[in-house]
Amino acid sequence: MSSGLFDEETIQALKQLFNSFKKELNDYLVVDDLEKLSKKEVTTHHHHIHPHHEGCPTCGEAKLLAEELSKISGGKLRFKIIDLKSTETAILKPRYTPAFIYDTPKKNIRYYGLPSGQEFAPFIYIHQYIANNIVKLSREVVDLVKSIETPLHIKIFVTPECPYCPIVVDAVNQMGLVNDLLLVETIEAIELPLEADMYGVSYVPDIIITDPEKQTEYGVEPIERINGYMPPEELAKIIKNASEKLSKK
């Protein structure tokens, strides 16, 4: 199979992974100005994509990635590509575009930006966890996360070259599967710098935990902040602590 995005080895690895899915998944991809994006030419050159679109520079690439993965998966992973101004986005409330919103009942786990570099692995793994109804967290972490009773908004700021980011993203994504009171959003900080600048993010991963009542606001005051790598056991304790702090407010 020819692909402008992936080499043959990657395609075969992806196919193998998609073949393990026990159910088909249907994600959302929210883009800015879908009509214009569909008309504009997107060219690939040396595995780099050049979308000629200015409102959301990587929306063209995100759309191409979604279409390519859908094709490689043989229908195991599909994307409903919708416009930021569509009625569905009023319910989904994406905070940035492109927005990949994973196929969970509450649509509570998202990726904002283009999942490239180191971030491509956790982007793929979350689909495997959802399709096969599994998590790889320890029983201790699962029990702690399940005990959270107050909703939280967890923002994970990452960059494509960060080596520890995917480990943290993968762990927190799984926590969002264990407990859907957690709204888990990964934000590519270079591509989408608005809040990264507001919070003064200087190294990644940087996790900001806020009140989900203020989900649509930007730069909300953190309840807790986690800088750098931390194992899932420690992450879960801080997230649990944040929920208790918020419940007392």
pLDDT per residue as tens digits for the range 197-238: 999 999 999 999 999 999 999 999 999 999 999 999 999 999
Q: What b/e sequence results for 212-221 when a residue is b if at least 16 CB atoms lie within 10 Å of its CB, and e otherwise?
A: beeeeeeebe
Kind of pairing, strands 42-45 and 109-112? Answer: unpaired
pLDDT per residue as tens digits for the range 111-153: 999 999 999 999 999 999 999 999 999 999 999 999 999 999 9
CA dist 137 and 147 (Å) reads: 15
pLDDT per residue as tens digits for the range 142-160: 999 999 999 999 999 999 9
Going along the chain from its start, the domains and CATH numbers come out as: 1-101 (3.40.30.10), 134-249 (3.40.30.10)
User: What residue type is assigned to position 90 of the chain?
Assistant: A
Within 10 angstroms of residue 107's Cβ, the number of other Cβ atoms is: 17
Whose structure tokens read 């029990």?
A: 143
Q: Among the listed ranges 8-17, 24-33, 50-59, 68-77, which one has the minimum average pLDDT value? A: 50-59
Nearest to 83 by CA among 41, 125, 120, 30: 30
* Percentage, residues of the chain above pLDDT 90: 88
Is a pLDDT exceeding 90 seen at residue 3? no
CA dist 107 and 231 (Å) reads: 25
Going across the sheet that includes 206-210, the strands are 77-83, 25-31, 99-101, 109-112, 182-188, 152-158, 206-210, 224-227
Tokens (6 digits) for 173 = 């994504």
